[in-house]
Amino acid sequence: MFIFYFIRFCLLTEYEHHPVSKEVQTVVGLDFSMNTLYVDSEGKRANYPRFYRQALEKLTREQRVLSRRRKGSNRWHKQRLKVAKLHEKIANQRKDFLHKESHKLAKLYDCVVIEDLNMKGMSQALHFGQSVHDNGWGMFTSFLQYKLEEQGKKLIKIDKWFPSSKTCSCCGQVRESLSLSERTFRCECGFESDRDVNAAINIKHEGMKRLAIA
């Protein structure tokens, strides 16, 4: 009996996964984006695939049709089912996309830095009339976290009050105001960059400071 438990213990411990912490050589910063999910510090954007956008448009149309049907009628029930199926399809497409994106990043980089969500996300969501939840950011970051951790890599979340958009990633000067409509960040030092890329670079730098302290 004891032998049985001993063997079982060995098997269990063997299957426990203890990834060895990997030395950080490559770091990337991600700036949350309502439209594309994220913009990274290298200037790359994750774009939701076209079929996903098309399905979203179709959903809006079908929901409009549903709202015109008499509640409880046969045609209403039929339409409701159609909308529900479309919802499910979209949720699956989104999940698939988020898995692919997080997998790609976790493979490419040793450390990914993001902002802890996020007043910025909230304000952007309000601006675009969508919820942060719809965009899948929460799901994306949790996928990213476990995919990194199982390889001994890191996800660093930085403080949501860090002024990533208003700081110049070149000289560090913080601008007093920056409206959402200003897509290009310009600084007195002469630095000019896409607004989101500038933010992503700042997020990366902030994460690297944390790495140096840790």
In the complex, least distance from residue 170 CB atom to Zn ion, rounded to whole angstroms: 5
Single residue of 30, 46, 168, 201 touching Zn ion by CB under 5 A: 168
In the complex, least distance from residue 188 CB atom to Zn ion, rounded to whole angstroms: 6
Contact positions with Zn ion (CB under 5 A) in 119-158: none
Binding window for Zn ion (CB under 5 A); candidates: 34-42, 69-77, 144-152, 190-198: 190-198
Binding window for Zn ion (CB under 5 A); candidates: 5-13, 24-32, 81-89, 191-199: 191-199
Asked if residues 90 and 52 have their Cβ atoms less than 8 Å apart, the reply is yes
201 binds Zn ion (CB under 5 A): no
Binding window for Zn ion (CB under 5 A); candidates: 22-30, 65-73, 78-86, 160-168: 160-168
Helix orientation angle between 74-108 and 137-149, rounded to the nearest 10 degrees = 40
Integer Cα distance of 161 and 74 in angstroms: 51
Decide if 14 is catalytic. no
Binding window for Zn ion (CB under 5 A); candidates: 12-20, 26-34, 60-68, 168-176: 168-176
Number of residues in contact with Zn ion, rule: CB under 5 A?
7
In the complex, least distance from residue 172 CB atom to Zn ion, rounded to whole angstroms: 7
Integer Cα distance of 176 and 195 in angstroms: 15
Decide if 101 is catalytic. no
Which of 124, 164 has the CB closer to Zn ion?
164
Nearest one of 107, 105, 126 to 28, comparing CA atoms: 105
Contact positions with Zn ion (CB under 5 A) in 19-48: none
17-26: long-range pairs with CB below 8 Å, 24+: 17/150, 19/149, 19/150, 19/151, 19/152, 20/152, 21/152, 22/110, 22/151, 22/152, 22/153, 23/110, 24/110, 24/111, 24/153, 24/154, 24/211, 25/110, 26/108, 26/109, 26/110, 26/111
- Which of 23, 31, 176, 194 does the annotation list as catalytic? 31
86: three-class secondary structure by DSSP: helix
Integer Cα distance of 84 and 81 in angstroms: 5
Single residue of 65, 91, 126, 171 touching Zn ion by CB under 5 A: 171
Q: Catalytic residue numbers? A: 31, 115, 196
**Residues in the site for Zn ion, rule: CB under 5 A?**
168, 170-171, 173, 187, 189, 191
